[in-house]
Structures are given as structure tokens and as C-alpha cells.
Structure 1
Amino acid sequence: MGAVGVLALAAAGAGFARQAQPQPQPQAQPQPQRVAAPLPSRSILANTQALFDGYVSSNKMPGIVGAFGVGDAPTVFVSAGKIADDVGAPAAGPDSLWRVYSMTKPVTGMAAMMLVEEGKLSLDDPLSKYFPAFAKMRVLTSPDTSMDSVPAKNPILIRHLLTHSAGLSYNISAKGPLLKEYERLGLLPGTVNAAIEAQARRARPTTLAEFANRVATVPLIAEPGTKWSYSIGLDLMGAVIEKASGMPFDRFVQTKLFDPLQMRSTYWTVPASEAKRLSTNYAFVGDARTPLDPGATSVWLTPPSFPYGGAGLVSSARDYDRFLHMLQDGGTLDGVRVMKPQTVALAMSNLLPPGVTFGGIGGGTGGAMSAQMGFGAGGSVYLADMPGGASKGTYGWGGAAGTIAFVDPVKKFRGTIMVQYFPAEKWPLRQEILPALMRDAQRLHGGRP
């Protein structure tokens, strides 16, 4: 990648930062076909490498991996540290495995858009077409304090699920009696560790269809199509994909996305044979880092109650970069087309209902904010070019354990960053990467910005 490429990368990184608040491992890894050799990140992105090295040497995290790409040049991988604090833990690298949590949402969003392309779904289909239980919903009058409700005036549409405008809530944000109802019904589509999972499984449904039908019994926090509110909408979207495609949700994603894109390190359940690649997830209390879900004994080695379309995937920097590369190139990667260019463009456009705005969300749930942003199929989108930064249409989202992903389809650049700790905003990772990329660009461009 030359100076121009790095400059484009840095400029797009600038836009993404405004939204928010290593070496390959020794064991044999499954490699996608025709993988270009990684570029020497220590010389090309030396400041970014130094930033990553500093995170590890100052004990802010055990390890970190970034994947940065411009156009169809080879992806640059930058990595530092290990996948866990344990003595002898493998080095963090392009094929290490990380819980991407809400970075699952863009994958689910694109899977839904594939069905839109095939004519099996429409953005303005009512949800009740697929699950009749949603035909007559109710809306809470005081969502934080009471379960009192009134009949909904509007139907929930497919676009509402994709854009968090259905009026649904989330166990990570619901309060009071509504949270208790979500917990009672097991509307807990996510995995943390074995102890929490054992409790959640006692209440959680075991199929996506049952999950959907239970969601339909709970009043909404807002009238459908009137408010952006982070939600279980993409988990519910998984149930719709299953119904509309006639195929189990996880199998649909595997056969329509992961296999064609040769994403061979992206899992709903990590095979025991790959456990050595799985990072440990940590929790910070103050500056003290404690293992929350050790890789070797991770709950992700056990199949989930059902595939969680909002937070269920484990992936590698190499794999997620391939997903973003496909979006960057309008639905094609390595000569294989999985989506039409117009479908990708629609998915990465503002799909919010008229009058609804994306107001941002805290980093702990993988979100970001900007006055110039809307929401597409499972991720945020820029509504206008940012001077010196992201282009209109830049699309991305993050994960609750600190992961970051973004793609600028105009400048044709993309970035993935993998770390593993709660809360995601413990360190200002998103804000600090931009200056490092800019310094790299200036150095490679003869000192000019």
C-alpha cells in the first residue's frame, strides 16, 4: 500500500473515530484460498504498530489485532501481544478468534438484504406476515416504570427490525418491570460466560421461532417507526430470515455468506479443534483485569440456545476483513458475487423511516454517534461526506467487547480492530487510532497531511 492508500485509510479512519467515543500464530490455521501475503505493518503503519505495542506494554490489554485495507491491495495486519494473559498463550494475529458481539448485526443485516434481493423479503413487509403474533402489538405508556400499555397504531416492518426502529427493547438497556419481563421470558439473546449462561438457559427459548413468538407478547417501548432504540431487532430478524428462506438461520448465513467469502474462521460455536485460537474475554473493575470467559473453557465452545443474530458470532480479523472487502467492492470478492451492487448500496444507505434519526449510543453496546449519521441494515451510515474524513455511505458498527469495523465504499477502504474486554469504552481505542493512522500517512507522504 502506497502513501495514497494510507492517506485514504487515515481519512476514513478519521470519519469513523468521530462516530465514537503480531505475528501469525504457531499452530496451523485454516487459510482462505488465494490469501495475499500480509504487508510489513511495522514499516508501513509504524505509528499504528507503536500504538498497539503501547497498549500491550502498558498492560491495558493482552493483545490486539487490526486489519486495514484500501482497494484490492493486500490487507495490512497490525498486531501486538497475545490472545490471553496466560503464560504460553499464542500471539495475537490475523487468524486469532474474537467474540465480535454486535458486529454480528451487520452480517445479519446483509443476510436479510440478500433475501430482499431474491424477492423473498421486502423492507416494507409487516413482521406479522412471517409471525402473525405481531399483528396486534401494544405500546408502553411509561417504559421505564410501568407495564401499562395502549394498542399500537403502526405495524412493525422489516426495515424497523434492521434499523432499531421497531419499538423493541434490549435486556442490556431495558429498565424496571420491562427488564423483569424480558428476563422472565428468556429474551436474552447473547452469551457471556458459563455461569451467566447456565442461568439464562433456564428461561431462554430454544428456537428462533419460539423466541419471536415470546417477543410478540411484550409491549413495545415506542410506536413502531417513530424512534431509534437499540434493540433485539436483529435477533428477531434471524427468525424472519429462517422463515422467509426456509432454511435454518445459521445455515443460511453459512451457505450464502461465509462459504462463498471463504470466511473459514467465523463461528456461532467454536469447534474444540480451534479452541487454542480463541482469545480470553476480560472484565475490568477499575484498572484490574479479570478473566471473564477463558478461551480454553469458553462458553462459546458449546452451541447456543439458538443462533443470535445480534451478538452471536466469533470471528477473526482476516475473516471480518473479507466481509468488509465484499461490501467495499459492491458485493463481490475474489470474483465471487454474493450480492448485487445495488443491494449493497441500499443496505449501506439510510433505511430509517421518515422523521426518525439516529441519536447515538454508548460504546459499551458497540455503538457510536454523529449528527451526520443514519442507520442502514444492521449498522450506522454517514449521511454526508465529512471534510477530510469518511465519505457519505461509510458503514460500520462495533462490539460490546471493544471490537470495531467500518467500510468506506467511496474511498474503498476498510478497517477491523479486534480486542476483548468489557466495558468497550475502558480505553479510548477508537479515538486514538485516528491520530496514529494520520501520522503514518504524513510520514509516508513526505510529511504532508
Structure 2
Amino acid sequence: MDVPAFENKIERMCQERVIPGVLCIASDTTGSFQYKKAFGVRTLKEDTPHDLLKVDATMWLASCTKLIGTIAVMQLVEQGKIGLDSDITEFIPELKGLEILKGFETIDGVETPILEGNERVITLKMLLTHQSGLSYQFFNPNIIKHRALTGGETPAIYMTSPDLISTFKTPLTYVPGEGWEYSSGIDWAGLIVERISGMELETYFQKHIWDPLDVRSMTFFPAQHPEIAGKLVDMSLRAGGSTAMGTAVDPNGKMEYTTDTVWNPDMKFASAGAGLYGAPLDYQKLLHSLCVGDEKILENATLDLMFQDHLAPAAKTAFEATLEVKELRAVYGVREGQKVSWGIGGMVYLEDVEGGRRKGTMNWGGYPGLFWFCDRVSGVSGVLASQIIPPGDEVFKGVMEEWEGVVYRNAGKV
């Protein structure tokens, strides 16, 4: 599909509410190929002017934040202030003595968690690659149940909690290094950055990541920055509800406006795992910098390390098991049978994708319809961004695959 045909198709899909507004942004390292275009409208709210989506729009970036949090702590690794094999409890003593949740038992009619001691050190590398044993409670029913039984809060804590520690401190779900589960590890890594640097994460990100790229659109606290919040795109929902896995029941349902923002835009702490708001247009500046290897943010030797496969055998087995679930493949944006693993910063491809990503590409995304990729081999990077729930939308995944094919063909990389 050529560019005009793709653009016509996306415009039609937006008009028919098959998808909401979407941003498509990409570039190559030679400077000969750049693409940035907005499709659709900023909001689907009834009785509201349906202003066209603008290319510099603000979105909740969700887990796209994880790449930034990883880069921040890897800058400290470069400086020798912490090592990938460091025991993270040296910097976060609050995580000392975490036990492993093995299940539940009923004693005298009372259901009680079964907890087992852990002797394994949690390293920084484990935090950054989701091999630490930590979890996100909203992805793990056992952690939700544990909190309920022990007087803890429900997942609504993510909207109301005043601090990171009470939000993310949970039992482990497996022995560190012997499993894989998408987790709060990078949220904790952000706390390490604050404690080593002596800066609040918002300040650190701006000074050491965004200032070198001349970016002013990124913040954890949009309510404090009306110039950023004023460009925020409203969330859209696929009509028909969600499955137990959190994906759309009816993939053909029309898009509707929703007041569910998923993440509280007035959070009280900076989450290095999910908290950033900003312009995907500026996020692409970061991806382009990494792809070019201009060393404004990280040394190329550090990037070489990050873009490698870092999963231990047991962790890889657990990760591959998640990819056997169709709904999770959709959430992760992975094709069935695709060989992928995990690097430091995102998922890494272990083989070429026909007409697209090369072996060694890193990519990930964000909960409400965001996908990014950085292919240092081909010299192509890009971000596809929307604000759509639930995640793992099959229609939007199809758009992502078509758009990526258009990018690689027009950049002359097929």
C-alpha cells in the first residue's frame, strides 16, 4: 500500500469511528525520510466541537514511559553510580525481606496467603527486564487477592495513592531471576534515580533527557502545566465491553468517548513506568536520537548492551508462555510465532520481520493504543499513537502493521 492509499484508508476509518484520532510519526537516520501526520479528531465527546487532531497533541504515554525511566537509570550505570548486577535494596531498603506469594490456604475457615521467604538478590537488571519477581497488581489476581485479605487497597490505589512505595510494594510472585512477569520494576528504578541523583524524577528527566533534545512537552503532572494539558487528547472506548483479558469483546464495535482516563492526570508522584504525558511527536525525537546514535542521551556502547536479549532461560520460558495467549500477543503487538525476547528498555526481535523490523529492533508501547519501535539496523524508528481502551485492540494492531510496512517501503528499507 502506498502513502496516499494508506492515508485515505485511515481517514475513512476515523470518519466511520472504526478507530479514533491517531498520530503516525517516523523517520530514518539519513534524514531523507520523515513522516508525521495526524488523522481524525481530538475527541469523540458528543455535543463538543470535534476539532481535528493536531500533530503536536498531548497524550498519556503510559508504558512508553518505561523506555525513559530505563534510559535515566542507565545514565547512572554509565557514570558508575550503580551497576546492573547491584542489589537494589542498597538503594531501596523498603524492598528488603519481600516474601514470595505461593498461593492461599484456609485455616479455621479463614483464607490466608501462603508466603515463602526469598534468599535471592534482586538486581537492577532484573528490575529493568521484568525478572525481579515483582508484579503489577492490576495484572495479577493473586496480588489483588493478597491485598484484599491483608487489608490493603484495591487497584484503585493507582488513582489515589500519595506515594510510589505504598502503590507498588507487594509480595514477589516468583523467585527473582527464575520467571518473567510484566511489572513495576521500572517504577522502582525511577525511585533509584531520584535517590542517587538527589533530583525529583520530573526534574531529572527534563535536565538529562528532554533538554538535550529541546523537548518541552513532557511531564508527570499535566495539571500543573496548562500549556501541555490544553492539548490532551480524550480517551476513546471500543463499544461492547472488555474480555477477562482486557481486550475488546467486539473488535468491530464503534469507537465512543469515555470519561475513563485509566491513569489519574493529577497523580501525586512520578511513575517511571507509566506516568508521563506529552507529545508523541517529541517522543519520536528521542527514538530518532537513539537510532542515529548521536550520543546526546546515552553512549552507543550502552545502547548496544540494551538492545541485546537479556532474559535468563527460566525467564524466557515464562515470557514465551505469555505469548501463547492470543490476547496478550495483541496487547504486546506481536504476531503469532514471532521470535522475541526482552532487552533493557523494551522487547527485542530475534529475527527479521518480512517487510519491516530487522533482528535487533527494540519496541514496546503504552496501554491506550501506543506503539513505538527503534530499528538501529535499518536506521528507522517511529511511533503510532492514539488514546484507545481496552488495550490489545486487534483493529488498531492491524493499522500498526500496515503503517509500519508503509514506513519501511517509503524509507527504502524493504
Q: Which residue of 2 aligns with 1:397?
A: 364
For residues 143 and 285 of structure 1, what CA distance do their matches in structure 2 show? 36
1:284 equivalent in alignment to 2:284: no
Q: 1:122 to 1:181 in 2, by over 3 A?
A: same
Pick the aligned partner of 2:216 from 264, 270, 286.
Answer: 264
Pick the aligned partner of 1:124 from 79, 82, 85.
Answer: 85
1:412 equivalent in alignment to 2:379: yes
Q: How big is the shift at 1:54?
A: 2.4
Q: 1:269 to 1:75 in 2, by over 3 A?
A: farther
Q: Which residue of 1 aligns with 2:280?
A: 317
Q: Which residue of 2 aligns with 1:22?
A: none
Question: Residues 346 and 364 of structure 2 are in contact (CA less than 8 Å); yes or no, is this contact kept in structure 1?
Answer: yes
Question: Residues 307 and 362 of structure 2 are in contact (CA less than 8 Å); yes or no, is this contact kept in structure 1?
Answer: yes
Q: CA RMSD in A?
A: 3.1
Pick the aligned partner of 2:163 from 176, 199, 207.
Answer: 207
Q: How big is the shift at 1:179?
A: 4.2
For residues 139 and 97 of structure 1, what CA distance do their matches in structure 2 show? 39
Pick the aligned partner of 1:345 from 301, 304, 307.
Answer: 304
Residue type of the alignment partner of 1:400: Y
Residues 40-90 of structure 1: per-residue CA shift (max 9 Å, x gap): xxxx72233123212202212331110011114253113211111244343
For residues 154 and 201 of structure 2, what CA distance do their matches in structure 1 show? 18
> 5+ unaligned residues in a row in structure 2: which ranges?
106-110, 241-252
Q: How big is the shift at 1:431?
A: 2.7
1:367 equivalent in alignment to 2:323: no
Q: How big is the shift at 1:346?
A: 1.4
Residues 318-339 of structure 1: per-residue CA shift (max 9 Å, x gap): 111101111102253xxxx221
The SS at the match of 1:310 is: coil
- 1:192-341 alignment runs, 5 A limit: 200-201=159-160, 204=161, 206-208=162-164, 210-211=165-166, 215=169, 218-270=170-222, 271-286=225-240, 287=253, 289-293=255-259, 299-300=264-265, 302=266, 304-332=267-295, 337-341=296-300
Q: How big is the shift at 1:349?
A: 1.8
Residue type of the alignment partner of 2:332: G
Q: How big is the shift at 1:234?
A: 1.2
The SS at the match of 2:392 is: helix
Residues 353-375 of structure 1: per-residue CA shift (max 9 Å, x gap): 35421324655995244652121
Q: Which residue of 1 aligns with 2:140?
A: 174
Q: 1:338 to 1:274 in 2, by over 3 A?
A: closer
Q: Which residue of 1 aligns with 2:8?
A: 50
The SS at the match of 1:53 is: helix
Q: How big is the shift at 1:221?
A: 0.5
For residues 432 and 372 of structure 1, what CA distance do their matches in structure 2 show? 21
Q: 1:147 to 1:180 in 2, by over 3 A?
A: closer
For residues 146 and 254 of structure 2, what CA distance do their matches in structure 1 show? 30
1:378 equivalent in alignment to 2:345: yes
For residues 70 and 103 of structure 1, what CA distance do their matches in structure 2 show? 20
For residues 250 and 438 of structure 1, what CA distance do their matches in structure 2 show? 35
Task: Tell me the TM-score normalised to structure 2 length.
Answer: 0.82
The SS at the match of 2:305 is: helix
Task: Tell me the TM-score normalised to structure 1 length.
Answer: 0.76
For residues 88 and 341 of structure 1, what CA distance do their matches in structure 2 show? 46
Q: How many residues align?
A: 382
Q: Which residue of 1 aligns with 2:243?
A: none
- 1:117-156 alignment runs, 5 A limit: 117-142=78-103, 147-156=113-122
The SS at the match of 2:368 is: coil
> 5+ unaligned residues in a row in structure 1: which ranges?
1-9, 11-43, 189-195
For residues 399 and 265 of structure 1, what CA distance do their matches in structure 2 show? 17
Q: 1:98 to 1:308 in 2, by over 3 A?
A: same
Question: Residues 330 and 397 of structure 2 are in contact (CA less than 8 Å); yes or no, is this contact kept in structure 1?
Answer: no
Q: Which residue of 2 aligns with 1:81?
A: 40
Q: 1:136 to 1:294 in 2, by over 3 A?
A: closer
Residue type of the alignment partner of 1:410: V
1:161 equivalent in alignment to 2:127: yes
